[in-house]
Amino acid sequence: MMKILVTPRSVTKNGHPSLEALSAAGYEVVFSSPGSFPTEAELLTLLPGCVGYLAGVETISASVLESAGDLKVISRNGTGVDSVDIAAAARCGITVCRAQGANARGVAELTFGHILAAVRSLPLSDHHMKNEQWQRRKGIELENHTLGLVGCGKIGQLVTGFALAFGMKVRAHDPYPDQTFLPEGNFEYRSLDEILSGSDILSLHCPAQADGAPLIDSAAIEKMKQGVTIVNTARGSLLDTEALLAALDTGHVAGVALDAFDSEPPTDWRLVKDPRVIASPHIGGFTQESVDRAMYAAVENLLSVLSE
């Protein structure tokens, strides 16, 4: 019986009904360790002999791919593939598929939840109240403030709709702007420098940079408004930790909200522990609806490629 490896953390821990289609098609479903990221050593053990791989966000290196001589397809239960060595996959003749847009609403709703929590200091207020401390921090109203988006695909477009409903101005940068996206309200595409310099709140919805360098470093922060809020629900590598910590200390950056980290869980907890930072454990696409959409799409992609 041909095997398919399944590694997304929520699925290895709790299962998912979409996998029944794999068994029904005659495949043996193999799981990595329940509820945790598979290590490279584990992948080197489990993947050889598998024809399909339903992957989470773990790193999939050239060594892993080269060890899997029977592998025909990697199907991500999400949209990002920057954790996969795409060049090595191509050399090995392995197709890489994405569950395009499956988790977009979950990530977009979390993004806007983080924006609201940040500008009104909700976690800090809750912390004080639970400690019987009546302390208040003045916030801002979103109306007439500018939300800058770096990346305006499906997630960015949903966030745009939420922001416009709050009366915000939205300015977006995307290297491949969707010219058919014409929302009603104060929305424009702008250059990256204009986004950095003009935003009251900056939200990232783009892939990691090709060279792995942070997009938001000290030079980028210098271009931003005093008191800007930065939200990152995309990739941890987009942010320079040292530059952000320094900017928080000077007040140049008023607050940061994070749902993505270089390593998960983080190995460097300094940003997470800063009282001006709101952090969540990569839960953007971790809703029942997003998980269902992503898993059914990933399984469909697997079966489609394997049937060719």
Reported as a single tens digit per residue, the pLDDT across 128-186 is: 999 999 999 999 999 999 999 999 999 999 999 999 999 999 999 999 999 999 999 99
Domain 3-102+287-306 has CATH 1.10.287.130: no
Torsion 147-149-152-156 (CA) sign: negative
**pLDDT computed for residue 82 by the predictor:** 86
**pTM of the predicted structure, to 2 decimals:** 0.90
pLDDT bracket for residue 79 (50, 70, 90): confident
Class assignment of domain 104-279? alpha beta
Summarize pLDDT for 282-308 with one digit per residue, the tens: 999 999 999 999 999 999 999 999 998
**pLDDT computed for residue 18 by the predictor:** 97
**pLDDT computed for residue 264 by the predictor:** 86
Q: Which residues does residue 173 pair with via DSSP β-bridges, in sequence order?
A: 150
Active site residue 264: yes
Summarize pLDDT for 247-283 with one digit per residue, the tens: 999 999 999 999 999 988 999 999 999 999 999 999 9
Summarize pLDDT for 227-244 with one digit per residue, the tens: 999 999 999 999 999 999
**Mean per-residue pLDDT, 9-19:** 94
Detail the DSSP E strand segments found in 186-272: 187-189, 201-204, 228-232, 253-258
Cis, bond preceding 265 (omega within 30 deg of 0) = yes
pLDDT bracket for residue 38 (50, 70, 90): very high
Active site residue 114: no
CA atoms within 13 A on the CB side of 117: 21
On whether the CB atoms of residues 54 and 6 are closer than 8 A, the answer is yes
Catalytic residue among 235, 252, 276, 293: 235
Active site residue 252: no
Cα dist from 78 to 58, 124, 166, 225, whole Å: 12, 32, 28, 33
Q: Domain residues of the chain, as ranges?
A: 3-102+287-306, 104-279
Catalytic residue among 145, 171, 205, 282: 282
Identity at 129, one-letter amino acid code: M
Q: Which residues does residue 146 pair with via DSSP β-bridges, in sequence order?
A: 169
> Is the model's pLDDT at 202 over the cut of 90?
yes
Determine what percent of the chain is predicted with pLDDT higher than 90.
94
On whether the CB atoms of residues 186 and 144 are closer than 8 A, the answer is no
Of 4, 94, 89, 87, nearest in space to 47 by CA: 4
Catalytic residue among 40, 194, 242, 264: 264
Indicate if 104-279 has the same CATH topology as 3-102+287-306: yes
Q: How many CB atoms lie within 10 A of CB 265?
A: 10
